[in-house]
């Protein structure tokens, strides 16, 4: 069985109230709920939040359950994965079911498509890692044109390759995490509550579906890109 969580905090420093801000006709978080439902993959689609307004709105977008996120899991410094694990456990207590595949869709990454969700889950179920993340090929490569400051104030390439890299295309491929889709085995999620494991794999997404809203600029980019879509 599969469960999808959408964990949505009420607060945000970069874009105040961003998860309730309307974009392309829905509050930002609502797009992730609708995508999860439309994928047809999940036995449960659950919204976890410390916001009563978000919890009240979630069933209208198709959520099959809501979970009140504990205050200690909703601070600016709290990690997201424990909140996901909490939502899975709470749902298992409510339904009496066990969810072998646990998926989280980040509410601030609405540019994914339903096909991205289906493909990421299919990749996970074929490869059977402990976790899967999504990402986009990095615009700056740490082996070639991403530099870091040294203690003496000089700069150097972040990762020194064994052999000189003269073209970016010859460097090892590197990715930016886009925070869109996360998939775990139940055991890995509930026991370790981390993202990365020795077996973690990546599902690649294109730049036009990889913006994560963390600033007003990001929000404007997402608004513009979503206005070009006809699958919302």
Nearest partner of 5 among 40, 43, 51, 38, judged by Cα: 43
CA distance linking residue 90 with residue 68, whole number of Å: 9
pLDDT band, very low/low/confident/very high, at 160 (cuts 50, 70, 90): confident
- What percent of the chain shows pLDDT beyond 70? 98
Residue 163 predicted with pLDDT over 80: no
User: H or E stretch including 5?
Assistant: strand 2-8
Residue 117: the pLDDT is 98
| More confident: 195 or 232 | 195
Residue 184 predicted with pLDDT over 70: yes
- What percent of the chain shows pLDDT beyond 90? 78
User: How deeply is 201 buried, as exposed, middle or buried, from its count of CB atoms within 10 A (0-12, 13-18, 19+)?
Assistant: middle
pLDDT band, very low/low/confident/very high, at 166 (cuts 50, 70, 90): low
pLDDT in tens, 78-111: 789 999 999 999 999 999 999 999 999 999 999 9
CATH architecture of 2-136+176-227: Alpha-Beta Complex (3.90)
Residue 3 predicted with pLDDT over 70: yes
User: H or E stretch including 93?
Assistant: helix 80-95
Residue 221 predicted with pLDDT over 70: yes
Mean pLDDT of 207-226: 94
Lowest mean pLDDT among 2-16, 58-72, 181-195, 198-212: 2-16
For 94, phi and psi rounded to 5 degrees? -70, -40
pTM for the structure as a whole = 0.93
CA distance linking residue 71 with residue 78, whole number of Å: 10
CA distance linking residue 111 with residue 67, whole number of Å: 24
CATH 3.90.550.10 placement within the chain: 2-136+176-227
pLDDT band, very low/low/confident/very high, at 13 (cuts 50, 70, 90): low
pLDDT in tens, 169-183: 778 899 999 999 999
CA distance linking residue 105 with residue 33, whole number of Å: 8
């Amino acid at each position: 069985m599969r469960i999808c969580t959408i964990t949505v905090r009420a607060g945000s420093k970069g874009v105040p109230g961003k998860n309730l801000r309307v974009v392309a006709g829905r509050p930002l978080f609502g797009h992730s709920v609708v995508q999860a439902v439309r994928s047809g993959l999940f036995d449960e689609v659950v919204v976890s939040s410390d916001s009563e307004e978000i919890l009240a709105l979630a069933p209208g977008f198709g959520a099959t359950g809501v979970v009140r996120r504990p205050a200690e899991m909703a601070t600016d410094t709290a990690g997201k994965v424990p909140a996901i694990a909490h939502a899975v456990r709470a749902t298992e207590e409510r339904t009496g079911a066990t969810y072998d595949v646990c998926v989280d869709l980040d509410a601030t990454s609405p540019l994914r498509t339903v096909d991205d969700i289906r493909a990421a889950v299919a990749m996970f179920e074929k490869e059977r890692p402990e976790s899967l993340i999504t990402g986009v090929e990095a615009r700056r490569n740490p082996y070639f044109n991403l530099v870091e400051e040294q203690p003496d104030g000089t700069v150097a390439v972040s990762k020194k390759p064994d052999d000189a890299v003269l073209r970016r295309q010859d460097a090892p491929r590197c990715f930016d995490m886009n925070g869109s889709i996360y998939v775990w085995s139940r055991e890995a999620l509930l026991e370790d509550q981390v993202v990365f494991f020795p077996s973690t794999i990546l599902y690649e997404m294109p730049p036009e579906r990889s913006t994560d809203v963390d600033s007003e600029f990001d929000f404007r980019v997402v608004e513009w890109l979503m206005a070009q879509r006809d699958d919302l």
